[in-house]
Structure 1
Amino acid sequence: MIEIKNKQIIIDGKPELLMCGEIHYFRLDREEWQDRIDKLKAAGCNAVATYVPWLCHEPEEGRIDLEGKTRPELDLTGFIDLCAENDLYFFLRPGPFIMAEMKNEGIPHWVIDKHPEIVPLTWNGGKTRAKTLDYTAPAFLLETKKWYAAVMKVAATRLHTNGGNIIAVQLDNEIGMLSWVSNSPDLTDNVLQDFSGWLKERYTPEEILVRYPFDLDDEEERKAGIRSPDEAYSAELHYDLGYFMRFRFARYVAILREFSEEFGVSDIPFVVNIHGTGGGRGLMFPIGISQLYESYTQAPGYLSGSDIYFGDLTMETFQDLYLINGFMDAVHNKDQPLTSVEFNCGDGNFGNNFSGRMDPSASDFKTRMCIAQGNRLLNYYLFTGGRNYRMEKSYNDGNDRIAHTGERHGFAAPVSPEGELNYTFPRMARSIQTMMAVSNKLAVMNEERDDVAFAFIPDYYMTESRYDNSDKMAAIYQNIQVNRAAGAWENMARAMLISGYRFGSVDIQNKSITPEDTPVLALASARYLHVSVQKKLVDYIQNGGGLLLYGEVPTYDMEGNPCTILADAIGIQSIKNTNADLEYKLSVYADGWAKPRPEIRLHKAQTMDVRDAEPLFKVYGTDEICGFEKSTGKGRVVIVSCAYTCDPDFFKKALEKLGARVSLSHDCKYHGLFMTSTAHDGEKFIHILNLDGFDKEFHVYENGNALFGGYKLQLQSKDGVMLPVNVAFDEVTIAYSTAEVMKAGPGSFEFRLTQSEDRIAFVTTRDVAPSQDYRIEKTGDKTIVISNKHAKVDDKLTISFY
């Protein structure tokens, strides 16, 4: 039995932490399967994941081979069974779309040739610039159902619930991504007809006429009016089309689930993966959340999974990953845990030209942060490379292979196409093994949070498609994109994390927000904001909430109509928006409690007419206010309506004035430490990352009290630690440790040392066996083991009990 409950994945009554590796069986000779599985197990993984390429298994209509009759490497049944023989769980990803650099994104050529009407048209009636298809076209669904009938027949008898090892099935892959990245929404005749029906259910006939001055029932008018919209209704169409696409994607996912269950696959999690990271950043990832959150929250039994394609986790990017996890959690149902189903690993050499060169810390740091924030499944993608064989039929496409990366595939993987381990493998394996050593603890722990949350507004990321000829939508897009992330993430969110704040996120668009649940809210705000959200924020502040607003105080709703509900409630009026240029060097100076910070250059500011407030920032030369603190009802607001820089002390003071204080802190004089904690029933782990390339020394405090016996920690450059506090293992409790647990019991512990002199404090009735590797001290009820080995010389320590 597999349950999704309390943000946990529970298998046969036991909460599990699933660490998967993606192995593409179809890109390896069958004789190589066991070798790659051995390497996956050596890395510490307990599960295998793979796509199932429809393109390969049914190259000709009606000739489906899932047992390797045509090619040995296509024996999906044999591969799943081999993984079961190796005591590995299995995560099945059957498409129909799989991407994975496959031709047609994994769709057989014959499907497209047979049903040309499913190839989307888009803006102005042009062909889409991506290899996508109309998901909900009847012909496509008919062919997909046949594919699911075959692949689910294989899966059904191998489900964990039927005694097998399959514990999850992904439905399609990165739904909506191809349309987004090409700015080519699916606007086939079928989609337009469905959209018209959806509009009629959403609006009255009179409302439709106001929004759309053409006849939706006239097929030609409908095509012209939607594919080539007039400027007068471009904003209305943008949002209606975005909402419809969410509905359409959710319906598609529900249909795929119906197919799966019809063919015997049920009572396991169905996974929907979210796309959006790229270029080493996560600024656009919430676009994927916006597109798909209705798909995986529509009913019980779904999991959402992130695609994490960061490079190194550094001071530039660490807040991106932290926010991504928070935003995913914000839209989840109460039982849904975080997962990542494409967790990028390896060296970043995607182009086979040595252009990536990730640091060995990359996958380690991302693993540690994701596990600390509650991810219960990570799928390392791509764990091993392979080869793209030539198809039997020639398509005159340049190489006739199944994919467009040439003969070899997976150049960046920690295991090469030839099976060699690259330099990233040992560090990746160490982090996986560290998590799995205490997986029973981590599988139930949740991140501890301070009294502040970061606001998430899905519609701020409904920017996956825009009609290029609309100046109005261009203006709305530009302002939202400038204010929703970038500066807000890099200045406000980064400053919050540097200051020590641990925070989640709240979907303030779709869910309630109260001061009791969220005492303080940090909001990245644009000029445009829904009427309903502005009203919700007003109620929140009036009832005692603390609001830290960074960006612009909204003056319009999301369709560009004037709306100053929030500003009016606070008692402010926007004067103007000022931008720096070549001739004007916009500068801002501090006032009020923000003094005596130096005057700084900024690129933009929204100035305010404010009464009964304490000014915090003013524009040099005009003294116009662009930052202030003010009481409103029972609550307070701190508004920073300028692109103020990442000033940890300022943002910390602002949050303290609003009522949120840091509980977990350190005294390192340098920034570049990320720190959080996870806990359950009094047991705790402190997670710390040194994002910089030099060692750091510091004490750790919780509510002002020194942890780890007051011992000063030394964290090596680009290293991370997960240190136990009051963690029990049968008859032995680790009160605290500066070393990481690598193996626990029975009768002994293995640690990874991290210090020049590590200290491990046990509470137990058992005696520690003597060793030349350490000395033993007694302090009260604690037995303290002090390592005689320097971590930089030898970082392995075994402690036995008798």
Structure 2
Amino acid sequence: NGGPVIMMQICNEIGLFSWLAHQADYGGDVKERFTAWLKTRYADINGLNKLWATRYTHFNDIELPPDVDEPYSSPADRARDFDWHFFWKKYYADYLLMLVKMARDRGVTVPFYHNLPGWIYGHGHEFPVNITMYDELYGEKSDIIFGVDHIPEFVSHRNMHDDRIINDIASAMQGNKPLFAAEFQSGSREYHVVTSPREMELFYKASIANGLKGWNYYMFSQGRNPERKGYSGDTFYWFTPLTAEGERTPAFPLVQKMSKIIRTHESLFVRSERKAEVCVLFYPPYYTSELERPEQGGSKLQFVPAAIRKQAYFDGLLKVLQVLNIDYDMADLTKVSHQCLEKYKQVWAFSTDEMNAHEQQELVNYASTGGKLMIYPALPDRDLSQQPCTMLRDALQLSASGKEVIDSPLIDVMRLKDIKCANPQITFDASTFEKKDVIATTLNGKVCGFVKNLKEGEVIHLGTWLGFDTEGHKPVYQALLNRLGGNLRNATSSNDNITVRQRFTTDGRAVLFAGNYFNEAQTAALSYKHPKTGETIAFPYLKEECTFPPLYAFISPVNIELTQDHNLLHCSSDLLSIESKGREINMVLSGDRDMPGEMLLEGKNKDRIMYASLDGLEIKVIQHNGRNVLIYDHKENQEMLLSIKV
């Protein structure tokens, strides 16, 4: 009602305990609810018995599936487990919608949000499991906004890719709702995990570059637990910006600085979006596994999603795309249409033995209408109910002829030799393909990868997965990306150890991020696209390369107006404020002492810059290629005033 409360949280991380304990709730009215849900899913008990391979007479006779200790005995047993998982999505939805109604009935009018957990021990590869739990509440199914809990604990090249993947999957699943962090790390819940402001600054800037539109610091101040009640004694959270007594800590100046950066560029950050001609698909059922039981061969799967998704997908494909600085979007395969995918030059699908008919058909339709589809490591042969479903295979008019399992598996792929891969390698009859269409072979010379035309488009399939744990994997992924075509990058780096991102607005502005996730300095030359003209612009503008300090990033506005005659193209400093008065432009800057300061200006009257000073000392304005360049040094942990007279 116009007061300080702008949102209200509805409960907290309700799927967390099932995920961590790997255990469902078997008490209360769960059985009755499960039975009622099954009646909406199956027309009669005979349909259920067919898929579950059971002999129930009535729905009320159904027993709850066994807990996580009992291995799957058959494909039908696995089919039953998918029903068990999907029931819990409905259960969570019913619970949260009940709370929403209770709050609305009591006059609460502000937006509601719920938070999604998933970081554990510095990694987020299990986070998508938690995101998929709320599928019955995304999009138009509820007005709840889902915020991610970003608690990385530490930031380095080992987890540099995790937060973007989490952001992309959350956005793809919940649709047109703002992406924000409901819990955004500004301390540590564990005393032995010591967070550093330097790491957090890198993470905060990367979060903007990776699409966050807002965040809520967690915890902003340390807490004191009630006597004899605290899990960790009398203290809750450490290394926060404020102590429990309200004293400022070394983390506080970073919060101040980020607030100044956001206040200065908030409209730009919020309105900027990624431009991509590459799309990677996310298939929620592959992460619907919080209650999954041991897979010891009973389901007769070649590829078990939960067993390979970390190496093959999260830390494989999705990490290497970021290391290679590829601009890509993500889409939820269960929601996206092939018409929406047609804007992409190439689409990548991580696929196992299981995929429903609707999703297989969308992939067929995308490729048939001119798209280029990369799919690995399997062409599905069944749906999630474990019933035969071969739409992709049928469209390609082929099926696997065998498989190979060897010690230390290697393949030859895209003319690159001895590339590490995984078991098994699914093979195909060589007589089915022309030689030019074979892209991968096993050490025994069997075909395990191919290109095949599908009406107006084409499909590339690799019958194994590579991951990303050797240097030799990068050129394979790059060769596949090049083969599929399209614009792969808007911003580039000569050094893969420097991460670059560029986001664009619709009014000719952009955001440029460049970060070093390594604990040692890195040297690189960058380039980015002028958001209005499309021109490729170099950073640094005058020198061949620039040295980036360890665990540091800058985030710069691109092509923002300073005066009617002057635009700022890029700046390697943190721009904390910008003020134009008459003939003078004043900017407050800060930056790492070892990060070279460079500001690039352009405009109609480039010759009218009369004078520039930094903290009162004149700095030279260099004209180069019709633009003005200011070169300067940063002061350690100090704000600086840059004044330009025109």
TM-score (norm 2): 0.86
Q: How far is 1:338 from its partner?
A: 0.7
Aligned to 1:727: 560
Identify the match of residue 573 of structure 2 among 722, 728, 739. 739
Q: Judging changes above 3 Å, is the alpha-carbon distance between structure 1 residues 422 and 216 closer, same or farther for their aligned structure 2 residues?
A: farther
Aligned-partner Cα distance in 1 for 2:42–2:507: 50
The alpha carbon displacement at 1:701 in A equals: 3.8
The residue aligned with 2:96 is 253
How many equivalent residue pairs?
Answer: 613
- Structure 1 distance, partners of 2:183, 2:160, is 18
Partner of 1:510: 335
Aligned to 2:477: 651
Is 1:541 equivalent to 2:367 in the alignment? yes
- Measure, in 1, the Cα distance between the counterparts of 2:285 and 2:264: 41
The amino acid that maps onto 1:213 is R
Give the CA deviation at 1:271: 0.5
Per-residue CA distance 1:520-545 (angstroms, 9 max, x = gap): 11122222222322222112211211
Q: Distance in 1 between matches of 2:512 and 2:506?
A: 12
Distance 1:729 1:177 in 2: 48
Match for 1:451 among 277, 282, 285?
Answer: 277
1:371 match: 208
Q: 2:549 aligns with which of 716, 724, 728?
A: 716
Q: What is aligned with 2:537?
A: 706
Whether 1:556 aligns to 2:390 is no
Given that 2:500 and 2:514 are in contact with CA atoms closer than 8 Å, whether structure 1 keeps it comes out as yes
CA distance in 1, matches of 2:67, 2:489: 53
Aligned to 2:287: 461
Q: 1:217, 1:473 → 2: CA distance?
A: 25
Unaligned runs of 5+ in 1: 1-161, 391-398
Shift, 1:727, TM fit: 0.9
Is residue 798 of structure 1 aligned with residue 642 of structure 2? yes
2:155 aligned counterpart, secondary structure: coil
**Residues 246-325 of structure 1: pairs in structure 2 closer than 5 A:** 246-266=89-109, 268-299=110-141, 301-325=143-167
Q: What is the identity, as a one-letter code, of the residue corresponding to 2:574?
A: E
SS in 1 for 2:428: strand
Alignment of structure 1 residues 155-554 onto 2, 5 Å? 162-205=1-44, 206-210=46-50, 211=52, 212-218=54-60, 221-223=61-63, 231=73, 233-266=76-109, 268-299=110-141, 301-334=143-176, 336-346=177-187, 348=188, 350-352=189-191, 354=192, 356-390=193-227, 399=228, 401=229, 403-446=230-273, 448-467=274-293, 479-514=304-339, 515-554=341-380
Between stretches 416-425 and 309-318, larger displacement belongs to: 416-425
- Mapped to 2, the partners of 1:451 and 1:481 lie a distance apart of 29
Contact 1:774–1:789 (8 Å) recurs in 2: no
> Does the CA contact (< 8 Å) of 2:156 and 2:551 recur in 1?
no
Question: Are 1:251 and 1:295, in contact at CA under 8 Å, matched by a contact in 2?
Answer: no
Provide Cα deviations, 1:567-588, integer angstroms capped at 9, x if missing partner: 33224422444444xxx33222
CA drift at 1:560: 3.3
Which residue of the partner structure matches residue 68 of structure 1? none
- Counterpart of 2:433, as a letter, is D
| Cα root mean square deviation, aligned | 3.1
Contact 1:466 1:473 in 2 (8 A): no
CA distance in 2, matches of 1:298, 1:372: 27
3-state SS of 2:280 partner = strand
Instruction: Classify the secondary structure of the residue corresponding to 1:443.
Output: helix
Task: Read off the aligned partner of 1:638 and give its amino acid letter.
Answer: I
CA contact (8 A) 2:574 2:590 kept: yes
Residue 474 (structure 1) shift: 7.4
Provide the secondary structure at the position in 2 that maps to 1:282: coil
Which secondary structure does the structure 2 equivalent of 1:494 belong to? helix
Local SS of the residue matching 1:733: strand
Does the CA contact (< 8 Å) of 1:678 and 1:686 recur in 2? no
| CA shift for structure 1 position 364 | 2.0
8 Å CA contact retained: 2:590, 2:638? no
SS in 2 for 1:342: strand
The residue that corresponds to 1:93 in the other structure is: none
Residue type of the alignment partner of 1:604: N
Q: Quote the residue 1:612 is aligned against.
A: 433
TM-superposed CA distance for 1:666, in Å, is 2.8
- Correspondence 1:623 to 2:623: no
**In 2 relative to 1, CA 351–770 (structure 1 residues): closer, same or farther, beyond 3 Å?**
closer
Q: Where do residues 14-163 of structure 1 align in structure 2 (5 Å cutoff)? A: 162-163=1-2
Tell me how far 1:706 sits from its aligned partner.
Answer: 2.4
Q: Deviations over 1:339-386 (max 9, x none)?
A: 11112233x4x333x3x2344333223222222233222112122211
Offset at residue 438 of structure 1 (A): 1.1
Task: Check conservation: 2:521, 2:547, Cα contact below 8 A.
Answer: no
Distance 2:181 2:405 in 1: 39
Q: Distance in 1 between matches of 2:637 and 2:400?
A: 61
Instruction: Confirm whether residue 694 of structure 1 aligns to residue 536 of structure 2.
Output: no
- Quickly say closer, same or farther: Cα 1:372–1:473, change in 2 above 3 A: farther
Cα 1:476/1:729, change in 2 over 3 Å: farther
Per-residue deviation, residues 627-684 of structure 1 (Å, max 9, x unmatched) = 2333222112222333325433332332232232223243424534243334341011
Distance 1:466 1:215, change over 3 A: farther
Distance in 2 separating the partners of 1:800 and 1:195: 69
Deviations 1:446-474 (A, max 9, x none): 2x222111101111111011356x85677
Quote how far apart the aligned CAs of 1:496 are.
1.8
Which residue matches 2:598? 758
Return the letter of the residue paired with 1:777: V
Q: 1:601 to 1:512 in 2, by over 3 A?
A: closer
Could you tell me whether the CA contact under 8 Å between 2:404 and 2:427 is conserved in 1? no
Question: What amino acid sits opposite 1:518 in the alignment?
Answer: Y
**SS where residue 7 of structure 2 aligns?**
strand
Contact kept? 2:578, 2:588, Cα under 8 Å: yes
Q: Secondary structure of 1:758's partner?
A: strand
User: Aligned partners of 1:482, 1:261: CA distance in 2, in Å?
Assistant: 42
Q: Pick closer, same or farther for the CA change 1:284–1:478 going to 2, 3 Å.
A: farther
Superposition deviation, residue 167 in structure 1: 0.7
Q: Could you tell me how far 1:742 is from its partner in structure 2?
A: 1.1
Asked if 2 retains the 8 angstrom alpha-carbon contact of 1:273 and 1:305, the reply is: yes
TM-score, normalization by structure 1: 0.70
Distance 1:777 1:249 in 2: 61
Shift of 1:485: 3.2
More deviation, 548-557/781-790? 781-790
Residues in 2 aligned to 1:445 and 1:761: alpha-carbon distance in whole angstroms: 21
Q: 1:639 maps to what in 2? A: 461
Deviation string, structure 1 residues 171-212 (Cα, Å, up to 9, x no partner): 111122212221221233412112212211221113134345
> 3-state SS of the aligned residue for 1:539?
helix
Describe the shift of the 1:570–1:223 C-alpha distance in structure 2 as closer, same or farther (beyond 3 A): closer
Is the 1:579–1:605 contact (alpha carbons within 8 Å) kept by the matching residues of 2? yes
Alpha-carbon distance change, 664 to 770 in structure 1, aligned in 2, over 3 angstroms? closer
Deviation string, structure 1 residues 236-281 (Cα, Å, up to 9, x no partner): 3212222222122122222111111111111x22112112221211
Q: SS of the residue aligned with 1:735?
A: strand
Deviation at 1:710, TM superposition (A): 3.4
Residue number in structure 1 paired with 2:393: 567
Query: Which of the numbers 597, 602, 617 marks the counterpart of 1:773?
Result: 617
Deviations 1:610-640 (A, max 9, x none): 52252222221x1122223332221122223
